Structure formats: structure tokens, C-alpha cells
Structure 1
Amino acid sequence: MAATIDHIVFDIGKVLIHYDPNIPFSRIIPDEEERKWFFLNVCTHEWNLEQDRGRTWEDAEALLIAEHPEREEQIRAFRKYWHEMVPHAYDGSVAIMEGLIDGGRDVTMLTNFAADTFVDARKLFPFLDKPRGVTVSGEIGLIKPDVAIYERHARDFGLVPEATIFIDDSYPNVEGARAAGWQAVHFKDPETLRKDLAGYGVEV
């Protein structure tokens, strides 16, 4: 195994907190086929990612409303009901993170998140304030899996890349971390994460 792990870096969405836009939109667009079309053609994953990169919601909404004026209310609903998309934390993962912090481990977070919704997330989930710090893509204009965001995080927090392990549910983001010289594990569930970390000598 490579260098001893001195730094543990957590992704947030789908690792520490649940995220699912279908939760409010099942009510807003009850028809499943229409809802699927809406996410594929209007409020797409790629559109949402640009807010994670730093685009304002005002600009994002204006862009789509110009293209789909008849969908204005549904487009605005994406930000308006965002809090419903993050209904709960993954208690098992949070327990692992808090256990590492309580055990004296250096823990930070690196997330693709819009700057303003992250402010909301911190209010909803106070445990997000427990790690030493966080890099939020929307605040710095860089996004995973671009290698630059991992390099920025390592520089800002004084991490040694080969002594850093990153946990993310997205395989491309795991690969991005590895390209930056970090160790990384693909998150599946808390129990698997415990085993994966143990494999790197990180006991929880």
C-alpha cells in the first residue's frame, strides 16, 4: 500500500446527505414520463452542474425560461424546493466521519455544490461544520472531476496528495482524485466504506 493516510476528504451529496430532485418534482410534475422529459430537456443535470460551477440561479433560471417560457413555474421550483431534495443524512456515513474527527484524524470536504444552496445545507445539517473545512465548487469556479479542484483543495488545506484519501459516490470524481495523485475510494454504502478505509490503514 502507498503512503500512510494523513488526510481524509469526503464528498457530501450521496455520501453524507441524500439528494433526489424527484422528491419535490413528483408533486410538481406528477406524470412520470413528463417529469423524465423535463429532467432530460429542461432542468438537466448539465444545467444544474453550471450552478455548481458558480453560475447564479437568477442567470440559470433566466436562460431556461427564455427557452421554455411555458415551464417558468416548474423551472423556478427547482431552486424554490431545493431543500426538499435533501431530506436526510446518511447516518452511517456521518458516524464514520464524526468517528474519524473524534479520533483525531484530519478530515475535510470537497463538494460540487452551488454556493447558496450549500449555505442552506449547513443550516439543515450542522455536522457539515465539524470537519476542518470545505472546498465548495460554486464558490471557487472549479468543479470535480477537473484535476484543478483537487489541487486547489490540497493547496488550501495543506494536504500531501499521496497521503490523502478521497471518498465520492461518482466514479469519474474518484478518477479525478487519483489523477491528482490522491488515493480514492468509490462510495457504495457505509459498511463498504469502513472496509475500504481499513484497507488503507484507516480504522474507524
Structure 2
Amino acid sequence: MTEIRHIVFDIGKVLVHYDPDLPFSRLIPDEVERKWFFDNVCTSAWNIEQDRGRTWEEAEAELLAIHPDHAENIRNFRRHWHEMVPHAYDDSVALMEQLIDAGNDVTLLTNWAADTFTEARARFRFLEKPRGITVSGEIGVIKPERAIFDHHARAFDLEPAATIFIDDSQKNVDGAKAVGWQAVLFTGADPLEADLRRLGVAF
């Protein structure tokens, strides 16, 4: 296995907590009704298109035409987005900073809407510490598509075989491996540290 020279972190659910239920447990208190709303109105498939670059105005208009009776909560998704990302994972952030301080090349690769990422970057200042970030909403492609991994490798001059990618989604881990990167599934800071040490990364 090629020696690791580049470390690439996902952000959501790896460095920063994300959970749409946080505001919506208040906005739609009934659990069954809330589940129906996420399964049929503001679905994951709908939300990922904002990560691909669709504007919130376009996204809301699409749903408002189909579900006019849910107009308020459709708008509430963007309106209360900040509540969905309440805090960072301190142990994961500390590990990332430890890797940077030890001289490792660290970058970030995230599926995230462009405008909400601007807000996140202002709130979570540690996002400025890695060498750079690829944000899906800014370039119009998402993980696990090959194009976003190729873009990131070109943008930051990464050798794929010498790159380790860390993500909480197995399909994104598989996508990275498919383009020749090494990759591990994130389940917590301690298991990640063990994985990186096993792979010979210096701290």
C-alpha cells in the first residue's frame, strides 16, 4: 500500500454535527408526521440537489408547486438550517488539528450547499486550518461521483494512491476507492486515530 501523503476529511457528521430533526422536532412535534414530511416533501434526494448547486429559491419553488399545503415547513428547512448544525465534534477537530500540526497535508471535501457553507465557514473557524476545501455546491458535482474526487485531486495536486479519505458514508468511501484513493469509514475520532496509525500516518 502506498505511503499516505495526503489526508482528506469530509465535514458533515465527521467534523460538524448535522441533524434536520433538531429544528423539526419542534416545528413538527408528531414523530409520524415529521417522518412523512422528510420521506415525501423535504427528502434527502431533494436536499442533495442544493449540495449539487441548485439554489434554495429553485428548490423551494419546486416543492411549493407540488406541496402548497406544506409551504411554511418547506421554507423552514432553509430558514432554520443553522439549528441543524449546532456544534463541531471537538475530538475529531482536535485530531485534524493534531495531524496538521504534525506537518501532514490536510484538505477538506464536502457535499454542502454553497450559501450555507459560507455560513458554516464563518461559524466554525477551524475550517480555515486545512490547506483548502472543495465544496460540492460551488463546483456542481457531489460525492460519490468520480468528477468531484478528480477535481479535488487536481485542485490540490494529490496523488490518488497516496491519499486517504475519511467519510461517514460508505458509498462515498467506496467512491473514493473507485478512483484509486485509500479511504476509511468514519465511526468516531478514536477509531479514526487507530486507522490512521495503522496506516502509518505520523502524528
TM-score grouping bracket, smaller chain normalisation = over 0.9
Is the contact between residue 102 and residue 202 of structure 2 (CA under 8 Å) also seen in structure 1?
Answer: no
Please tell me the residue identity of whatever aligns with 2:122: K
Superposed displacement of residue 124, structure 1: 1.3
Please tell me the residue identity of whatever aligns with 2:145: D
Is the contact between residue 9 and residue 108 of structure 2 (CA under 8 Å) also seen in structure 1?
Answer: yes
Task: Report what 2:194 is aligned to.
Answer: 195
Superposed displacement of residue 185, structure 1: 0.4
Secondary structure (helix, strand or coil) at the match of 2:73 reads helix
Superposed displacement of residue 55, structure 1: 0.3
Task: Report what 1:44 is aligned to.
Answer: 43
Task: Report what 2:82 is aligned to.
Answer: 83
Secondary structure (helix, strand or coil) at the match of 2:165 reads strand
Question: For the residues of structure 1 that align with 2:198 and 2:139, how far apart are their CA atoms?
Answer: 33
Task: Report what 2:114 is aligned to.
Answer: 115
Q: Does residue 169 of the first structure (1) align with residue 148 of the second (2)?
A: no
| Equivalences for residues 43-192 of structure 1 within 5 A | 43-192=42-191
**Unmatched runs of 5 consecutive residues or more in structure 1:** none
Is the contact between residue 93 and residue 190 of structure 1 (CA under 8 Å) also seen in structure 2?
Answer: yes
Question: For the residues of structure 2 that align with 1:28 and 1:65, how far apart are their CA atoms?
Answer: 18
Superposed displacement of residue 203, structure 1: 3.4
Secondary structure (helix, strand or coil) at the match of 1:178 reads helix
Task: Report what 1:6 is aligned to.
Answer: 5
Is the contact between residue 9 and residue 166 of structure 2 (CA under 8 Å) also seen in structure 1?
Answer: yes
Question: For the residues of structure 1 that align with 2:105 and 2:163, how far apart are their CA atoms?
Answer: 10
Secondary structure (helix, strand or coil) at the match of 1:203 reads coil
Q: Percent identity?
A: 67
Question: For the residues of structure 1 that align with 2:185 and 2:171, how far apart are their CA atoms?
Answer: 9
Superposed displacement of residue 39, structure 1: 0.1
Please tell me the residue identity of whatever aligns with 1:67: I
Task: Report what 1:23 is aligned to.
Answer: 22
Question: For the residues of structure 2 that align with 1:106 and 1:70, how far apart are their CA atoms?
Answer: 49
Question: For the residues of structure 1 that align with 2:13 and 2:202, how far apart are their CA atoms?
Answer: 22
Is the contact between residue 7 and residue 105 of structure 1 (CA under 8 Å) also seen in structure 2?
Answer: yes
| Backbone CA RMSD of aligned residues | 0.6
Q: Please, what TM-score do these two structures have when normalized by structure 1?
A: 0.98
Is the contact between residue 194 and residue 203 of structure 1 (CA under 8 Å) also seen in structure 2?
Answer: no
**Unmatched runs of 5 consecutive residues or more in structure 2:** none
Question: For the residues of structure 2 that align with 1:173 and 1:79, how far apart are their CA atoms?
Answer: 25
Superposed displacement of residue 102, structure 1: 0.8
Secondary structure (helix, strand or coil) at the match of 2:184 reads strand
